[in-house]
Amino acid sequence: MNKVLLLAEILTVASALIVGFHPNILYASVFLLFTFCGVAVMFLFAGADFLAGAQVIIYVGGVTILILFAIMLTQWLYKIKLADIRNKMVVPALLSAAVGVFLYRALHQMVAALPPQTPEALEKFTATPKTAAIGQALLGGYLFPFEAITILLLGAMVGAVWLARPE
């Protein structure tokens, strides 16, 4: 196994654990940033080069910053301690576990349904760039879902502007 990949996986899982269990919500969001970076490296090793770049730009540069903003501008959010909400954690934990099991089973079945691959074919697959293929798929066979998502995002943006309008 590649050591860089192993390092990225350790980084991802360790940061994810800190995100889940650190009592300070600001630290949790900082380590969320490292989780996102680790996931980007894992994308890179899976051959999804464009996704890796987009992951960092959108999740590190956008989502993490938004979360940090929300924490820093909301006083009561920063003061929440893990101990205060421990008894409220049972249902979310059960839900997350259920989602985890579902995802694992679904992915397992998907991988099992694929034809068996030789290591050489896999290596060739991970070494070919995917950017052009993604672009052609988005503006080719998947044009309708792509446009539908655009309209959804446009609606969300108009809603945000409407909510934030000066009165």
Whose Cβ is closer to another protein: residue 4's or residue 148's?
4
Judge contact between 66 and 33, C-beta under 8 A.
no
Chain mean position to CA 152: 20
Tally Cβ neighbours within 10 Å of residue 20. 13
Alpha-carbon span 60 to 77, nearest angstrom? 21
Least distance from another protein to the Cβ atom of residue 144, Å:
21
Enter the tokens of residue 122. Answer: 């896999």
Task: Establish if 136 lies at the interface with another protein (CB under 8 A).
Answer: no
Residues 9-68 that bind another protein (CB under 8 A): 26-27, 30, 33, 40-41, 44-47, 49-50, 52-54, 56-57, 60-62, 64-65, 68
Enter the tokens of residue 111. Answer: 């991988």
Whose Cβ is closer to another protein: residue 70's or residue 99's?
70
The residue within the footprint of another protein, chosen from 74, 96, 117, 131 (CB under 8 A), is 131
Residues 6+ apart with CB under 8 A from 129: 49, 50
Phi and psi at 166, nearest 5°, equal -75, 140
Query: Given the rule CB under 8 A, which of 10-18, 82-90, 126-134, 151-159 is the region that contacts another protein?
Result: 126-134
Residues that bind another protein (CB under 8 A): 2-4, 26-27, 30, 33, 40-41, 44-47, 49-50, 52-54, 56-57, 60-62, 64-65, 68-69, 72-73, 123, 126-129, 131
